[in-house]
């Protein structure tokens, strides 16, 4: 309630659902992504329902974009309580195909995007001696799936970085850190897979009842709404039907 929350990847899927949930619960949400139209539409929708939202167009791979979003947030709301590093990509491929440009993209967005976010908000949270950083990792940090070696590696990095961050920031600065690790969620992420063989292999998984973006939004809400003494380190959620 009344928290100021920066959410990356707010134009779609998990980020969008989380923005709607947190705004409904009283937070001021800062909607970050590259797709301006989607963000403006979401802001309108949130405001129509009585919520508070700000749009900050950003490419998470650009530290300057993050810095700008932070100053826009401070100008409008005066503080930053929560950062949700959610933006991510999953162009799956087999290593032997050497799709090195896609490897770079995943490393830039899924890992460096998270680091850029932390670097941008940390001065404010340190000064306040409070805050909460939530990083969206994946069940892929626990298990390999077809074509997912590089994607999994990025999500292991996010999970491990989150634990290091927690140990460094929580006891000293009162900044909580949570890694969210979902199994398959019904979002646009799967539509971006171009490799037919991999698509075929994952078809069964996606035909099962997957998680919904709202399920992840609820998990984030839970992590954010604990007493100060509690740090929720990880939330690992799988669809019931997925083995």
Cβ neighbors of 60 (< 8 A, separation 6 or more) are 8, 9, 32, 66, 85, 87, 109, 112, 113, 114, 116, 117
Residue placing its CB nearer to ligand NJP in the complex, 220 or 232: 220
Distance CA 162, CA 108 (A): 17
Q: Between 126 and 243, name the residue whose CB sits nearer to ligand NJP.
A: 243
CB-wise, 173 or 195, nearer to ligand NJP? Answer: 195
Q: Compute the least distance from the CB of residue 242 to ligand NJP, in Å.
A: 10
| Contact (CB, 8 A) for 84 and 15 | yes
Q: Which is nearer to ligand NJP, 8 or 28 (CB)?
A: 8
Minimal distance, residue 155 CB to ligand NJP, in Å: 7
The label of the residue with tokens 């669809």 reads 239
Q: Which residues bind ligand NJP (CB under 6 A)?
A: 8-9, 11-15, 33-35, 58-61, 86-90, 109, 136, 138-140, 182, 184-185, 187-189
Active-site choice (94, 151, 222, 236): 151
Is the distance from CB of 221 to CB of 27 less than 8 angstroms?
Answer: no
Question: Between 16 and 166, whose beta carbon lies closer to ligand NJP?
Answer: 16
Nearest distance from C-beta of residue 85 to ligand NJP, angstroms: 8
Q: How many angstroms separate the CA atoms of 187 and 16, rounded?
A: 10
Which residue has tokens 């933006």?
A: 87
Q: Specify whether 151 is catalytic.
A: yes
The nearest distance, CB 98 to ligand NJP, in angstroms, is 22
Torsion sign across C-alpha atoms 211, 223, 48, 4: negative
Least distance to ligand NJP from the beta carbon of 81, Å? 21
Q: Which residues are catalytic?
A: 151
């Amino acid at each position: 309630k009344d928290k100021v929350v920066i959410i990356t990847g707010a134009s779609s899927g998990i980020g969008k659902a989380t923005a709607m949930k947190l705004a409904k619960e009283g937070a001021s949400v800062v909607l970050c992504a590259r797709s301006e139209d989607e963000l403006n539409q979401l802001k309108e929708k949130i405001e129509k329902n009585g919520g508070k939202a700000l749009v900050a167009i950003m490419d998470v791979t650009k530290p300057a974009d993050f810095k700008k979003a932070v100053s826009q947030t401070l100008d409008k709301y005066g503080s930053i309580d929560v950062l949700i590093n959610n933006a991510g990509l999953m162009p799956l491929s087999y290593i032997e195909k050497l799709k090195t440009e896609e490897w770079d993209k995943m490393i830039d967005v899924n890992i460096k995007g998270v680091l850029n976010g932390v670097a941008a908000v940390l001065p404010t949270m340190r000064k306040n001696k409070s805050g909460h950083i939530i990083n969206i990792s994946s069940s892929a940090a626990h298990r390999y799936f077809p074509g997912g070696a590089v994607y999994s590696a990025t999500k292991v990095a996010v999970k491990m970085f989150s634990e290091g961050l927690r140990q460094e920031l929580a006891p000293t600065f009162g900044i909580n850190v949570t890694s969210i690790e979902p199994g398959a969620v019904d979002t646009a992420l799967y539509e971006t897979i171009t490799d037919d063989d991999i698509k075929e292999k994952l078809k069964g998984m996606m035909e099962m009842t997957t998680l919904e973006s709202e399920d992840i939004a609820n998990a984030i809400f839970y992590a954010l709404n604990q007493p100060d003494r509690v740090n929720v380190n990880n939330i690992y959620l799988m669809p019931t039907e997925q083995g």
